[in-house]
Chain A
Amino acid sequence: MTFPVSPDPFILAGRTVRSRLLVGTGKYADLNQTREAVEASGAEIVTVAIRRTNIGQNPGEPNLLDVISPDRYTLLPNTAGCYTAEEAVRTLRLARELLDGHALVKLEVLGDADTLFPNMVETLEAAEILIREGFEVMVYCSDDPILARRLEDLGCVAIMPLASLIGSGMGILNPWNLGIILERAQIPVIVDAGVGTASDAAIAMELGCAGVLMNTAIAQARHPVQMAKAMALAVEAGRLSWRAGRMPKKPYRASASSPLSGLIQ
């Protein structure tokens, strides 16, 4: 950007993060497409899942970490697929070992296989244990302002409410709840889940979110690499728009943009 804009660093858990767009690495056609899309997104924080390895099968099989290098990206191991606090905590302990002591994690404890809605009771329990063990917890949660506050009080480093169901692409369904959470939170609020297209990401940022985390919206676009770039631009545009402060809405009266004087008579 060449015009003057005051610095707007994204501070998360005490560190400066390069991009307010956070991306997942699931659902791509192959690892090459994963690499290209993540690169095009400009994201620094990239989520990964932790799964059992295939024993003895394809020993030379390419590895996600070969294309998404921990030296280049900040990997954010998640607990996707976990339905209890115990499973989530176990998964993230393994993740910390896998990533050489890396403490920044994404906690998500699911409550239901059809909706992938978070189980907030288990989520709160897991967050408490993880924080006690020194993890820096970014937490996928419902858009309930009271529970969001509770997670902040526990010591989570980011609150990540869903905008709509994971992988649904339905966009920002309840901007008012997000607004209440945003008004009260002292830590970054990141919309996680539900974004379908670039305008959704811009809306999240215009609401005042610190960032947006997405996977399916990019991976399942017809051209994932192009969509990754579109999302990067949308997040940046939305953030600038929020900082610039939109004009007041005037629902009942127009206001001409051209001078009313000097008209040709």
Chain B
Amino acid sequence: MVEFPFYSLFVSSMITLFINGSPQIFATVPTVRQVLDERGMTGRRVAIECNGDIVPRSHYDSRALAEGDRLEIVVAVGGG
């Protein structure tokens, strides 16, 4: 039996998501809701796109993310 170092379990579960273009590392696969909570956006009015498709607010808890997913998280700002 091949022995894996203990930390390989941990390392293999790390995933990278690209949020608003910047790579962000998560220890475990998060839901969309967990991404918001971990990045200080709990309760903020946002809209989210994953790989070009809208993620409806009602799917934040259930939507499964995967390695390399590209999330866009937008808000309303001042503009003409």
Chain A interface (Cβ < 8 Å from any Cβ of B): 24-28, 31, 34, 47-53, 55-57, 59, 63-65, 75, 77-78, 80, 90, 93-95, 97-99, 166-167, 193, 213-216
Q: In the complex, which residues of chain A have a beta carbon less than 8 angstroms from the beta carbon of B75? A: 50-51, 53, 63-64, 98
Q: Is B79 an interface residue (CB 8 A)?
A: yes
Flag if B80 contacts A24 (CB, 8 Å): yes
Query: In whole Å, how far is B71's beta carbon from the nearest beta carbon of chain A?
Result: 10
Complex CA–CA separation, A32 to B44 (angstroms): 19
Q: Which chain B residues numbered 39 to 54 have a C-beta less than 8 Å away from chain A?
A: 39-42, 44-49, 52, 54
Q: Are A55 and B22 in contact (CB under 8 A)?
A: yes
| The residue from A56, A64, A90, A213 contacting B52, defined by CB atoms under 8 A apart | A90
Using known A-B contacts A53-B73, A93-B54, A97-B56, determine if residue A48 contacts B79 with beta carbons closer than 8 Å: yes
Interface residues of B (CB under 8 A from A): 19-22, 24, 39-42, 44-49, 52, 54, 56-57, 72-80
Contact A53 B44 (CB under 8 A): yes
CB within 8 Å for A24 and B40 given contacts A94-B54, A98-B47: no
B74 touches A50 (CB 8 A): yes
Give the chain A neighbours of B76 by CB distance below 8 A: 48-50, 63-65, 75, 77, 95, 98-99
**Chain A residue contacts of B77, Cβ below 8 A:** 48-51, 64
- Sample of 15 further A-B pairs with CB below 8 A, known A50-B75, A94-B74, A214-B80: A26-B79, A48-B79, A49-B79, A50-B74, A52-B72, A53-B73, A55-B19, A55-B41, A59-B42, A80-B79, A90-B49, A94-B47, A95-B76, A98-B45, A215-B79
